[in-house]
A and B are shown apart, each in its own frame.
Chain A
Amino acid sequence: MQPPPTASDLLAVVAEVLADEVVPALSGPIQHHARVAASLVAIVERELRLATASDAAERAAVAQLLGVDPDRDERGLAGLRSALATQLREGLADDPDDAGRVWETLMASTRADLRIARPGHDAWEGD
């Protein structure tokens, strides 16, 4: 077993060094690449902490929209998402009674994705 720091701890410090020390020392396109690198490392750090729970919650929610039992269905999250995308293209949410429920479910999953990919993007609720 690896001793501390954990993978998440290491990624956090790499992100810090990139953002606080490396980025300010660079300029031009390379600085931009370093800034993107810092942001990606931070995303992976959050993914390690949050994705297991959010993927499980999304799988259960998608299964419910599809009307399948998540404990009996053998498909993983990707398979269920694919099935849901196909059914939505075919009109699963056309009925106004279904539209609200589908929208709320997709919004909850998307907010969970944003907590990893871009915290704060969902602070804006206008439009």
Chain B
Amino acid sequence: MAPEPLTAEEVSGGDPSLGDRLAAWLSVTEGTTVEVRGLEAVSAGARRFNALFDAVTATGTRRLAITMIPSAAIQLLDVRGEADVRTAAEDAGVPVPHVHHVCTHDEVLGGPFFISTAVEGETVPRRVLRLVHERGIGDQVAGELGVAMARLHTVGDDAAPAVLPRPALGGPIESALVGLDELFGVLLTPSPVFALGMRWLERHAPPEPARTTIVHSDIRTGNIIVGPDGLRAVLDWETARVGDPMEDLAWPCGRMWRFREDALTVGGLAGVDVLRDAYVGAGGSWDDDRFRWWRVLGTVRWGIGLAGQARAHLDGSFRSIVMAASGRRVPELEYDTLLLLRPHP
């Protein structure tokens, strides 16, 4: 019988056998005795959790991170796929925590997992922004994000790992529109603002991009590790797929990722010009119309997603006060959508 999926308590040390099981697996995998010390949970969500530990061998100590998917969770990308895309990104010059091991079996720890280098630094958005603004490195970090994206986007469809999802229809633009139209059905109450947004997206849809590449699709404040020296790593690659590179540029510029630093469009870090100049300087190709289109799409989609969370609470599939509260956040995204669609006088 497979062990039960881990709980946060177990990862944080409530289950002494977890460290032992991990140490035994590492010892076999690395062919040398590995001790696991200082295991601590850093985040535990419904879909995955992350913990840090020291792997101690006769030759030294490494600080490592383990990311585990509870066996019951829906995986957007399996651990092998996520490890492959991280490695492809790393090979292209994107800062990512290096992946050391992948285990696709449930039996070892109760769910598939991978182990990567633990990167020191801040990830919690408000702490990232405090650090960045104390040090005066907002422009630097936004520029580093632009360079990281340009490097990621050098990996075209043909070179992207086979496991990554490709656009199902004519291309990423059509796929995004059709996907959004399907999501529209989850709105509990019809939203005239999102209807206006959908109409705008349909009428202003750009041509499919000449070239599709790996896109991370969730690079933003909250999914990056930042230290006093700047950007250290881009995290959470489970949403990676093949798509329109401009989608990656637009996403961190949504207002929901600014954490009150509204005037600093790029994730509360810097203005758009900094991101654009760095991206273009590193070889990326920028398109203003496409940028705006993906910003509107991302904002409407996030708003509809919040409405969907409220529905999941109400229909009992995921009862949670946080999901319930999401329903009352919808007007924020309606307002942000209207700002993006303001007609020119």
Contacts and interface: CB of A to CB of B under 8 A. Distances in A.
A75 interface: no
Contact of A33 (B191, B321, B338, B339): B321
A56 B191 CA distance: 17
Interface string A83-107: 0111011110110100110110011
Interface stretch (B66-74, B83-91, B226-234, B326-334): B326-334
Interface residues of B, number: 34
A124 B192 contact: no
B178 interface: no
B342 interface: yes
A121 interface: yes
Of residues A78, A81, A127, which shows the largest number of chain B Cβ atoms within 10 Å of its Cβ?
A127
B322 A113 contact: no
B21 interface: no
Contact of A32 (B262, B322, B338, B345): B322
Interface stretch (A3-11, A19-27, A36-44): A36-44
Interface string B196-222: 101100010000000000000000000
Contacts of B330: 117
Given A118-B331, A126-B263, A110 B193 contact: yes
Interface string B63-107: 000000000000000000000000000000000000000000000
Given A110-B331, A113-B331, A117-B328, A85 B262 contact: no
Interface of B: 189-196, 198-199, 203, 255, 262-263, 265, 321-322, 324-325, 328-332, 334-336, 338-343, 345
28 contacts: A33-B321, A37-B321, A40-B325, A78-B189, A84-B190, A85-B190, A88-B192, A88-B199, A89-B198, A94-B203, A96-B343, A103-B338, A103-B342, A106-B334, A107-B335, A107-B338, A110-B331, A110-B335, A110-B338, A117-B331, A117-B332, A118-B328, A118-B332, A121-B332, A121-B335, A124-B255, A126-B262, A126-B339
Given A85-B195, A88-B199, 16 more contacts: A36-B321, A36-B325, A81-B190, A82-B189, A82-B190, A85-B192, A89-B198, A93-B196, A103-B342, A106-B193, A110-B193, A110-B334, A113-B331, A114-B332, A117-B329, A127-B336
